[in-house]
Amino acid sequence: LASLFIVPTPIGNIQDISARALAVLQQVDLIAAEDTRHTAKLLNHYQISKPCFALHDHNEQQKSAGLIAKIQAGQSIALVSDAGTPLISDPGYHLVNDCRAAGVNIVPLPGPCAAITALSAAGLPSDRFSFEGFLPAKEKAKVDTLTALLEEPRTMIFYESPRRVLDTLEQIVKVMGPDRRVVVAREITKTFETIHGAGAAEMWQWLGEDENRRKGEIVLLIAGHKPDPHALPQAALQTLTLLVKELP
Ligand code: SAM
């Protein structure tokens, strides 16, 4: 049955690709890649020669009808991104949504994902978690997003840029307090892999001390909010604050 295969690729270490993923890349008629030059390196390494074409954020919506027509005509297509699992902060959502609507068979392969790999080693509760993707780049939007997550009880996972991570830690200290536990997982599966956990203020200092500690690719995790059993409910606090203002 001609299908759309969703194929995860390595997030750093080229060996992190499953035997089944390689077999699917060998078998399909076409590979839809986020960046064809990037994917060519992977294919060359595994001596796979297959027609590749670009499917990225800017052309995905307009390309999907043509791809669906190819699959309906009997060709199988593999969707890959530059690294990790397609659709996870990567292109593919529109294509998959359109394929589902058109009744095209979709076969997802399990494989590398930076968020899940970081969570598995972070030492933060992993029974429930919330994947938050990239924080907004602009300061106000970033602070608003963090404020909305202030009382989120689950472990939060973010993708972060090395240029912004120090500023993000500063905002976490301001919004969530200096003791909120955070973990920075950097360059996972690569030579300089580092996974470091600390309170937010301590992490801000640690990252600031040495530029090498914030280089490369980063997953940032924030421990969920733990309600203080002795604390007053938020509504009661607000009422008290209002009352205090009125008191002589
Ligand atoms: N689809 C990918 C996945 O499944 O993880 C994520 C793609 S997203 C555009 C790229 C971001 O993922 C990077 O900016 C970084 O935050 C994170 N990332 C990817 N590879 C990583 C690695 N080896 N170590 C740490 N973070 C990584």
Mean pLDDT, range 188-211, rounded to an integer: 98
Minimum-distance ligand 1 atom for the alpha carbon of 159: 16
The answer to whether 43 and 50 have CB atoms below 8 angstroms apart is yes
This prediction has a pTM of 0.93
Minimum-distance ligand 1 atom for the alpha carbon of 193: 24
Whole-angstrom distance, CA of residue 240 vs CA of residue 121:
42
Q: Which residues line ligand 1 (CB under 6 A)?
A: 11-12, 81, 83-85, 88-90, 113-115, 159-160, 185-190, 217-219
Among the ranges given (8-22, 163-177, 200-214, 218-232), the one the predictor scored with the smallest mean pLDDT? 218-232
- Indicate the DSSP class of residue 213: G
Nearest CA to ligand 1 atom 11: 159
Residues of 123-147 as b/e, b for ≥16 C-beta within 10 angstroms? ebeeeebebbeebeeeeeebbeebe
pLDDT tens-digit profile of 77-130? 999 999 999 999 999 999 999 999 999 999 999 999 999 999 999 999 999 999
HEC per residue, 40-97? HHHHHHCCCCCCEEECCCCCHHHHHHHHHHHHHCCCCEEEECCCECCCCCCCCHHHHH
Nearest CA to ligand 1 atom 8: 89
Report the separation in Å between the CA atom of 154 and the middle of ligand 1, taken as the mean of its atom positions.
21
pLDDT over 70, % of the chain: 100
Q: Where are the beta strands (DSSP E) in 75-222?
A: 77-80, 105-108, 129-134, 155-160, 181-186, 194-199, 218-222
**Average predicted confidence (pLDDT) for the chain:** 96
